[in-house]
Structure 1
Amino acid sequence: MESVEQGETEGARDDGGPRPEDEPGSGVVTAFGRQLKLLRVRASLERPEFGKLTGYAAQSIASFEQGRRIPPPRFIDRADEVLDAGGVLKALKEEVGRAQYPAFFRDMARLEASAVGLSVYAALAVPGLLQTTEYAKAVFQMQRPLLDDDVIEQRLEARMARQEIFTRRPAPLLSFIIEEVVLRKPIGGLATLRGQLEQILLVGQNRNVEIQVMPTDREDHAGLGGPFNLIDNAEGRRIAYTEVQDDSRLYTSAGKIRELEARYGILRSQALTPRESLDFIEELLGVK
């Protein structure tokens, strides 16, 4: 569950439904699987033997080859070495990696991966970048229609991989504004919520991260239009991202960007300061 809002923009998806090439079983995932099988057969390796060399069960190898499961980056690297593929499999790693995400989020994932700055306003759930494994799994399990267990595990792994942004160097500047109600929702249960609040406190200690809480009792509130993200890239360009009901929009027009920049600035002034926000979370945890 990422930021959500609806609108019109340059570069937005122009249809409301999933595209065939977006899901496991077709597109780049199927192409990778066919290439993998050709290379394995050429190397005269049966699936169990190949699985032992790469650290995966024969059933997983079959799923990768048949395009039913998206292979993780570490498998692709190891398979390329074991099969002496000369980089053929590694060359597909980025595209296969993007397929880990639901179709509506892939453009945002690509921009986020190279962002030098990110501003996130969250009103429905804890932002994906801050989620613990337990909290994220609970979010995925609540989706309707229900997701298959394999899809949940795949998306969980992808979401956790995104958190490498916190250790990236040079460090990007990250700002989060989170509604108080989000910090009180016991998604996954009270123990999961407690672990999530502790995670937010931990991340908030990083010098390149600012986390602010928007109190529920604020009479003035600039975020009633819904959640949104602002992304700063290395070329000095700012892009906005919104999402609702598995449909997303990227905004690049100067007018829309200025509007959302102004809205985010007002939200920051209305929310608790970063220090006050961490104190507030500590109070929720009962440690203050």
Structure 2
Amino acid sequence: MTESIIEPERSESLKTFGAVLQAFRENARYTQEELATELGYSVHYLASVEQGRRFPTREFVERVEEKLQAFGALRKASQHLTRKPGLAVWFRKWALLEASAISLDTYETRVVPGLLQTEAYARVLFRGQLPPLSDEQVDAQLVARLERQKLLRERPNTAYSFVIEEHLFHHQVGGVEVTRELLDHVLDVMELRNVSVQVLPLERGQHAALDGPIQLAETPEHQWLGYCEGQRTGLFIVDPKEISVLHMRYGKLRAQALTPEDSKGLLSRLRGAL
């Protein structure tokens, strides 16, 4: 999923994080120029974070936490940044449903699903978007995506099922190193008991979902909903007849894909060949 944005939104949590960061910086007697140089970031980036205009990446938080010896305060504050900025207006409703679903089924043929992406892989996708995104927009999208990924571990009672086309790993988006890290990450996620990842092999040919990606979610009230995303729009599906068709196709697709065990073997072989 692309979950694109037009402009990043400021939030109280971003402004609070920036103020806390500034206080720790000043207490450590660093100027913005000095701290930015120590961290390996531009002064503009640091200033934007302090002003609440830019989302700090996970790497930035870890670096500044260590450099300023912030007693874990910055790390903890970063965990409370709002999830809404960085998500498209049309995607937010699905994101809320995704955060409470008890079952989530995903078939993707365009890119590796957002919940399984690495930061490096996602960054390549965001930087390649058209119209081009600013650095602030890229950061906002990265933070939103990494926040969403926490669901896999924070909701161990939710069943996550993914069917992914094998060719997505052969594309080597971002190059060999990015692909190698992506494969390692997906293999690691596959160890979670609540996550099932199946690969649709290249030689499968015709299959049940040639019409495109499938997203299905089951609510705590056991209602099933669907979602389809286009280039710059998203469509909720609530019609039981349409949901039934998608269920039928997804069930057939899982039967046509490799088993989770065989999928793990295939991804391990692809990883070893890089």
* TM-score range normalised by the length of the shorter chain: 0.7 to 0.9
> How far is the alpha carbon of 1:51 from its aligned partner?
7.5
Aligned twin of 1:83: none
Q: Contact between 1:204 and 1:210, CA under 8 Å: does it hold in 2? A: yes
> How far is the alpha carbon of 1:104 from its aligned partner?
2.8
Aligned twin of 1:145: 131
- Residue 59 in 1 paired to residue 44 in 2? no
CA RMSD between the two structures: 3.4
Q: Structure 1, residues 136-173: CA drift from partner, whole Å, max 9, x if none?
A: 11111111111101111111011111111122244210
Aligned twin of 1:174: 160
- Residue 186 in 1 paired to residue 172 in 2? yes
Alpha-carbon distance in structure 1 between the residues aligned to 2:26 and 2:221: 44
Distance 1:246 1:61, change over 3 A: same
Q: Which runs of 4+ in 1 moved over 4 A?
A: 47-53, 68-72
Q: Contact between 1:231 and 1:240, CA under 8 Å: does it hold in 2? A: yes
Matched AA of 1:286 = G
Q: Contact between 2:8 and 2:136, CA under 8 Å: does it hold in 1? A: no
Q: Structure 1, residues 90-122: CA drift from partner, whole Å, max 9, x if none?
A: xxx89x531331223211211111111110001
Distance 1:48 1:217, change over 3 A: closer
Matched AA of 2:225 = I
Aligned twin of 1:161: 147
Matched AA of 2:86 = Q
Q: Structure 1, residues 53-74: CA drift from partner, whole Å, max 9, x if none?
A: 8xxx78347743xxx54699xx
Unmatched runs of 5 consecutive residues or more in structure 1: 4-17, 38-44, 76-92
Alpha-carbon distance in structure 2 between the residues aligned to 1:162 and 1:118: 13
Which TM-score applies when normalising by structure 1? 0.71
Q: Contact between 2:56 and 2:143, CA under 8 Å: does it hold in 1? A: no
> How far is the alpha carbon of 1:237 from its aligned partner?
1.0
Matched AA of 1:176 = F
- Residue 246 in 1 paired to residue 229 in 2? no
The structure showing larger relative contact order (alpha-carbon pairs under 8 Å, at least 6 residues apart) is 1
> How far is the alpha carbon of 1:286 from its aligned partner?
2.0
Identity between Structure 1 and Structure 2 (%): 36
SS in structure 1 opposite 2:229? strand
